[in-house]
Amino acid sequence: EGEPRRTMKQFNTEITGYTVSYNANGGSGAPSSQTKTHGVTLTLSSTKPTRSGYSFLGWSTSSSATSASYSAGGTFSTNANTTLYAVWAKNKYTISYNANGGSGAPSSQTKTYGLDLTLSSTTPTRSGYTFKGWGTSSSSTTASYQPGGKYTSNSSATLYAVWESNAPTTYTVSYNANGGSGAPSSQTKTHGVTLTLSSTKPTR
């Protein structure tokens, strides 16, 4: 006698259940809708949608949520027809600097998907060399980026200092017969390249 009287509509809903729909909210691959029985906890689909440049955080009842209320494969106990919206976070990328034989490289920076990063204006130093900028390889001879420039790629990277030697590029090696005659002609040596000396011998 104490139990409240149910209307036909309430009775039918409890038997047929509720619809839980999924909205990829800018992504793709949302799961198919599920039916929840009144009073029975529903296990949400474990299928996760995808979105280029974003990480899936979970599901929310709001399309503008920044944190998730439900996880893929988690439990859902609300007794109502509900649409769950995917919650997304933009991917982050790490830009590291390598002084590449020098010192004083800037600290790493974080780039957000879809946003340009302004590279550090800090420049490394190396005795006897001039800093030319940043390359994408430790063997780069030309700079792809400059301090304070823009980095637009949506990927993590290590940038290597590009150096140019301040030393002359060539040197002259001269011979003196020192009291004899027939000294070899002078030769040109390139910086960093071993020179084979002349095989000509002076006489006295």
> Taking all residues of the chain, what is their mean pLDDT, rounded to a whole number?
92
Name the pLDDT band for 189 (thresholds 50, 70, 90).
confident
Q: How many Å apart are CA 111 and CA 117, to the nearest integer?
A: 6
For the chain, percent of residues with pLDDT exceeding 90 = 80
Distance of CA 135 to the CA centre of its chain: 16
Say which amino acid occupies 34: Q
pLDDT of residue 12: 53
pTM: 0.70
In degrees and rounded to multiples of 5, residue 37 shows phi and psi of -85, 140
Q: Across residues 78-100, what is the average pLDDT?
A: 98
Closest CA to 58 of 80, 67, 44: 67
- Please tell me which residue, 56 or 190, carries the higher pLDDT value: 56
Count Cα neighbours of 12 within 13 Å in the Cβ-side half-sphere. 3
pLDDT digits (tens, 9 = 90+) for 104-141: 999 999 999 999 999 999 999 999 999 999 999 999 99
